[in-house]
């Protein structure tokens, strides 16, 4: 063997070993780079099914025949989602960590949404309330994870369903409370409230779209699903009820005119069914429409003055005194909700020049209105903050 061949015999194995080491290093570097890319993708573009327990405010919007559902990050006070279309006449309710979208007159449908998922991946299920008759669902009250109730405007029955499976389980007949049965088919249930073992149902008992007699409240034993009692109010066209500290408060909107004398907030003492007036529409400066409990005997109420002129007032229901008028609100017909955990009031502002969601703390506006990218008007608001 000559000198050159001898050197080559020594060098070639060393070169091969070096090349193999380089290949292994490149493979390791490639694996590290791939992991970095995956991590960055998770940070920049969350997986569609990634769970999120971030508190949110949910709201529906509408304009003509268009409707949309979106949500706001409570932490960032901003809309950070694409949302999805819903029926134009829709409202939103929450129960524990789920959202229920009530698609009303013409759709007659309940949508269950899981907010821990992103976008349309959160759509769990849907349930027709009664499309054949056009039930026009208005409100939902939840007794448990497996039993809930639906108030229907155009069907003389309370619908029972299982929220877990979103399936109907029965009905409670309320047809006997229909006003003038020869020309009306329903007593027009508008709002539900649960206190203890009892479900309270607010009936408007309209004659078409006129209000001739006072609202009526049904007391239903939820263990037997039987109507045990009724209470008549003084004022008419009840739109919302809410329980607090042994009382059931009724928002009677009347004929949408404070001067008509048929609207006001009433208190029903649940222990003896006595009915007293908290404040008249005249004293309120408009007709009560929606309500949210703040603390103690203090409530926020939306007050309808005229079309496109809806105020929000803070009222002490124990005395009937107006504590404060929430400023910077022109048309709160888009709904209100109160976050007790953060002492924050959310208002659906429908004013065409500044529509969106307004946020208040201690009745002081916090920053600019939260606007959506769509030219739609807020129609309802609900919150999950657990």
pLDDT of the residue at 70: 94
According to DSSP, the β-strands at 238-244 and 247-252 are antiparallel
| Structural tokens at position 14 | 């060393």
The yes-or-no verdict on residue 245 having pLDDT over 50 is: yes
Phi, psi of 33 (to 5 degrees): -60, -40
215-235 confidence digits (pLDDT tens)? 999 999 999 999 999 999 999
Provide the mean pLDDT of the chain. Answer: 88
The yes-or-no verdict on residue 77 having pLDDT over 60 is: yes
Q: How far is CA 321 from each of CA 29, 279, 280, 315, 325, rounded to the nearest angstrom?
A: 72, 8, 11, 6, 11
Residue 330's pLDDT band, with cuts at 50, 70 and 90, is: very high
Distance CA 71, CA 63 (A): 18
pTM for this one?
A: 0.86
The per-residue DSSP string of 154-212 comes to: SSSEEEEEETTTTEEEEEEE-GGG-SSTTT-S---EEEEEEETTEEEEEE---BTTB--
Residue 152's pLDDT band, with cuts at 50, 70 and 90, is: very high
The yes-or-no verdict on residue 241 having pLDDT over 50 is: yes
The yes-or-no verdict on residue 204 having pLDDT over 50 is: yes
7-53 confidence digits (pLDDT tens)? 344 334 444 444 455 445 544 444 434 443 333 343 333 434 444 56
The yes-or-no verdict on residue 149 having pLDDT over 80 is: yes
pLDDT of the residue at 118: 79
159-201 confidence digits (pLDDT tens)? 999 999 999 999 999 999 999 999 999 999 999 999 999 999 9
| Structural tokens at position 65 | 């025949």
What value does the mean pLDDT take over residues 128-155?
92
pLDDT of the residue at 374: 85
Residue 117's pLDDT band, with cuts at 50, 70 and 90, is: confident
56-70 confidence digits (pLDDT tens)? 999 999 999 999 999
Report percent pLDDT > 70 for the chain.
85
What value does the mean pLDDT take over residues 57-85?
92
Residue 333's pLDDT band, with cuts at 50, 70 and 90, is: very high
pLDDT of the residue at 53: 64
**CA-wise closest residue to 84 among 66, 70, 98:** 70
Report percent pLDDT > 90 for the chain.
79
Residues 377 and 368: beta-carbon distance below 8 Å: no
Residue 132's pLDDT band, with cuts at 50, 70 and 90, is: low
Residue 247 forms beta bridges with which residues?
244, 269
The yes-or-no verdict on residue 373 having pLDDT over 70 is: yes
């Amino acid at each position: 063997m000559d000198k050159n061949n001898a050197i080559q015999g020594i060098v070639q194995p060393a070169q091969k070993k070096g090349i193999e080491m380089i290949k292994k290093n490149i493979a390791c570097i490639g694996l590290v780079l791939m992991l970095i890319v995956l991590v960055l993708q998770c940070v920049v573009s969350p997986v569609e099914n990634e769970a999120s327990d971030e508190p949110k405010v949910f709201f529906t919007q509408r304009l003509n025949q268009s409707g949309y559902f979106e949500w706001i990050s409570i932490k960032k006070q901003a809309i950070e989602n694409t949302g999805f279309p819903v029926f134009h006449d829709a409202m939103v309710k929450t129960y524990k960590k789920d959202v229920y979208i009530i698609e009303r007159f013409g759709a007659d449908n309940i949508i269950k949404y899981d907010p821990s998922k992103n976008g349309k991946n959160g759509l769990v299920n849907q349930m027709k309330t009664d499309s054949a008759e056009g039930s026009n669902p208005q409100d939902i009250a939840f007794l448990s994870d497996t039993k809930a109730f639906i108030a229907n405007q155009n069907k003389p029955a309370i619908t029972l369903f299982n929220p877990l499976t979103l399936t109907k389980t029965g009905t409670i007949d309320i047809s006997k409370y229909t006003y003038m049965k020869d020309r009306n088919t329903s007593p027009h249930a508008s709002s539900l409230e649960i206190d203890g073992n009892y479900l309270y149902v607010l009936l408007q008992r309209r004659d078409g779209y006129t209000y001739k007699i006072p609202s009526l409240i049904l007391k239903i034993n939820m263990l037997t699903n039987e109507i045990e009692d009724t209470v008549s109010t003084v004022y008419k066209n009840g739109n919302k009820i809410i329980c607090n500290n042994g009382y059931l408060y009724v928002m009677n909107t009347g004929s949408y005119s404070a001067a008509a004398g048929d609207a006001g907030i009433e208190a029903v003492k649940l222990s003896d069914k006595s009915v007293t007036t908290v404040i008249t529409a005249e004293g309120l400066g408009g007709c009560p429409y929606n309500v949210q409990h703040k603390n103690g005997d203090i409530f926020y109420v939306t007050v309808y003055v005229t079309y496109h002129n809806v105020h929000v007032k803070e009222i002490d229901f124990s005395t009937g005194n107006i504590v404060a008028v929430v400023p910077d609100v022109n048309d709160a017909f888009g709904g209100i909700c109160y976050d007790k955990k953060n002492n924050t009031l959310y208002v659906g502002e429908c004013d065409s020049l500044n529509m969106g969601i307004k946020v208040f703390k201690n009745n002081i506006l916090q920053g600019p209105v939260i606007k959506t990218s769509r030219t739609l008007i807020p129609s309802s608001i609900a919150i999950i903050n657990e």
